[in-house]
Chains A and B, each alone.
Chain A
Amino acid sequence: MLKIHDLHVAVDGTEILNGIDLDLKAGEVHAIMGPNGSGKSTLANVLAGRDGYDVTGGGVTFKEHDLLGMAPEERAREGLFLAFQYPVEIPGVATTTFLKHAVNAVRRHRGEEEVDAMGFVKLAREKGRALGIDDAMLKRPVNAGFSGGEKKRLETLQMALLEPGLAILDETDSGLDIDALKTVADGVNALRTEDRAMLVITHYQRLLDYIVPDRVHVLAQGRIMRSGDKDLPAELERQGYADLVNPAA
């Protein structure tokens, strides 16, 4: 599904990622953990196509296509979804309007029929309710004035509506209360199927208790320092990242 090969990325001349390798297959969930500033969001943003990042080496394929050559909207239509660590506030654009445009853009791309305004409102309300998003929130401008947790729920709703083949969740658990964490994890697990894959970036083992990963990678200093199975987070929880960040000479 997603193959990252020796990926090097710089921002303003400073190398942030220096040689990432990752092979994520359909049906798998991989987690990425690692200290603040280690490059997790940089990786997520580069995969989604945000500008401002220079790929200085290596490459990425998504469903066998060269991912880095695609525009952000093409990636999304092909089924790549990034749940933002910091969702963007867009004053003036009603959430429903935004969601409808997104869903129809993806549907058009898949050759499916577009949904009309009324049909869409029904769909969004129904899926929203399962995530604790009420009708009033859907009428408000995208993320504008939303609480941290509300923004994360809205990211999850977008994922539920777009049904992506590859979901990258960048700290979707941070800012969520205990019940919301469970709700959001249920939403994610509902999408977990044989033909989908997920990359879950998190600082906390708690999320991975709900969304049990197949592989866990530790990103530090722009590199994957260690990979393991679902038991790795518990070990990290006990020992911290110190050994990985400053490996004994």
Chain B
Amino acid sequence: MAERTLPFLDGLDALPDDALAAARRAGAARFDALGLPGARSELFKYGKLERLTGVPFEAAPAEAPAALPGWPAPDGAHARLVLVNGRYRPDLSDLAALPAGVTVRGLADAAEDVGGVAPATGDDHPFLALNAALATDGVALEVPAGSGELPAVHLVHVAAAPGAAPIAAHPRVLLFVGGDSTLSVLEHLVGAADGPAVFTNAVTEAAVGGDGHLRHHRLLTAPQQAVSLFQTRASVGRDASFDSTSLTIDGGLTRTDTRVGLNAPGATARVNGATLGRDAAHADHVTRITHAAPHGTSEQTFKSVLDGGARAAYQGGVVVERDAAKTDARQRHDALLLSGSAEADGKPSLEIYNDDVACSHGNTMGRIDRDALFYLRARGIGEDRARALLVAAFADAVLDHVAPGGVRTLMRRAAHRWLDMPEDAEDAEALDAA
């Protein structure tokens, strides 16, 4: 057997010779063939993967830490699904808010279609292949057609090592939203500030049926030693929509890689995100939206706010295929640099194979507006608070796209806590409603 790219693939060779094991080994072979992206990889140009390869991660053991880190919950009625290091924990979950037709299954012991996990299909992204090889658990949530608007689902990824060794977890999340149903999910990554490093390599696969709507949110608040990679693969049906908003706050190396196929006429994708980073945080947002059918629209709005030595990159992609006439695709990234050593990169890109389209993209890099800062201070607002207000205004533009409700408030609170003005999130919502 050829030498593995990453040591934690070795265990696969010992698995019994069944279909699942074969599929997992196929994932491993794909990963080995693709290799870890190197410095010359376009996709990982900005990512610092030595934070991954430089740490001896072990497969996450079955047992959870004695004490789990806590997490804030959204206001209002919602269901809770908890994964600890990639393992679904029904005992910590609460599904009572979900109506009868909605099903939730842990993937480890699910038979049939998603039994035991393996194919994370689609493109040949190395970390998708790695998840295919190593995912052994996760959760599938299925909303039947005609369910209307459901209560929010708070899907908590707890990343916390039980011992002293750094661990790797490979959660899989499957979201099926049938037609005429609206589901709002918040995938929320929480870690232990002082624990060993955790490598989370999550894959979320989503399918949205005709006239269905999936509002997908991510709040990634891992500690600085964490490596957190979140792949999303979504397929959107006729007149259906996939809205995604990812908020990355500090953390070590964090990446979201969101690929959406607008596969039927009239499908819509809004893929938005913000990074709030300081110190040595590094956050990438990678997107690829494929317009495969006519009359599709996609909008991407990304903001990076960076202080200290933090770095962020937005690598946006839009592909308009031959049949996708009347496509409307917009991408923009704006960065606000709060220190001299912070760095941002923005690289929107377009591949168009149809002439009848409207596409736009923009990328800006700026600093705090001195005149605005003076205006606020001239009214008695202290300099730090004045800066925070201007930063919040910049970043909130992303959260303003999120539908009002408990999920948005929770995300706003997290952002405003980073800005050291926690009470302001409540005010913003209250004043908005007044």
Contact = CB atoms under 8 A, between A and B. Distances in A.
Interface string B422-434: 0010111011101
B393 A71 contact: no
Interface residues of B, number: 31
B431 A105 contact: no
Given A73-B382, A77-B380, A88 B375 contact: yes
Given A82-B378, A92-B396, A117-B427, 4 more contacts: A71-B377, A90-B372, A98-B376, A118-B434
A85 to B, nearest CB: 12
Contact of A162 (B380, B394, B426): B380
Contacts, number: 102
A87 B380 contact: no
A89 to B, nearest CB: 8
B377 A97 contact: no
Contacts of A48: 378
A123 B284 CA distance: 44
A92 B397 contact: yes
A101 interface: yes
Interface in A76-107: 76-77, 82, 84, 87-94, 96-98, 100-102, 105-106
B389 A93 contact: yes
Interface of B: 369-372, 374-383, 385-386, 389-390, 392-394, 396-397, 424, 426-428, 430-432, 434
A121 interface: yes
**Could you say which interface size class chain A belongs to?**
35 or more
A117 B429 CA distance: 10
A109 interface: yes
A160 to B, nearest CB: 13
Contact of B431 (A73, A87, A92, A97): A97
A91 B377 contact: no
Contact of B380 (A91, A105, A121, A141): A105
A106 B374 CA distance: 16
Given A94-B431, A117-B434, A121-B431, A73 B393 contact: no
A229 B290 CA distance: 74
B390 A90 contact: yes
Nearest to A141: B393
A167 to B, nearest CB: 12
A81 B381 CA distance: 12
Contacts of B430: 117-118
A80 to B, nearest CB: 9
Nearest to A77: B380
Contacts of B377: 49, 71-73, 76
A220 B430 CA distance: 49
A88 B376 CA distance: 9
B430 to A, nearest CB: 4
What does DSSP make chain B's interface, helix, strand, loop or mixed?
helix
Contacts of B375: 84, 87-88, 90, 142
Nearest to A164: B380
Contacts of A73: 377-383, 386
A96 B432 CA distance: 10
B276 to A, nearest CB: 15
Nearest to B427: A117
Contacts of B432: 94, 139
Nearest to B421: A101
Contacts of B424: 97
A73 B389 CA distance: 15
Contacts of B383: 71, 73
A204 B432 CA distance: 40
Contacts of B427: 97, 100, 117
A94 B370 CA distance: 18
Contacts of B385: 101, 105
A50 interface: yes
A109 B414 CA distance: 28
A202 interface: no
A179 interface: no
Contact of A105 (B371, B374, B382, B428): B382
Nearest to B389: A93
A244 B61 CA distance: 87
A94 B390 CA distance: 11
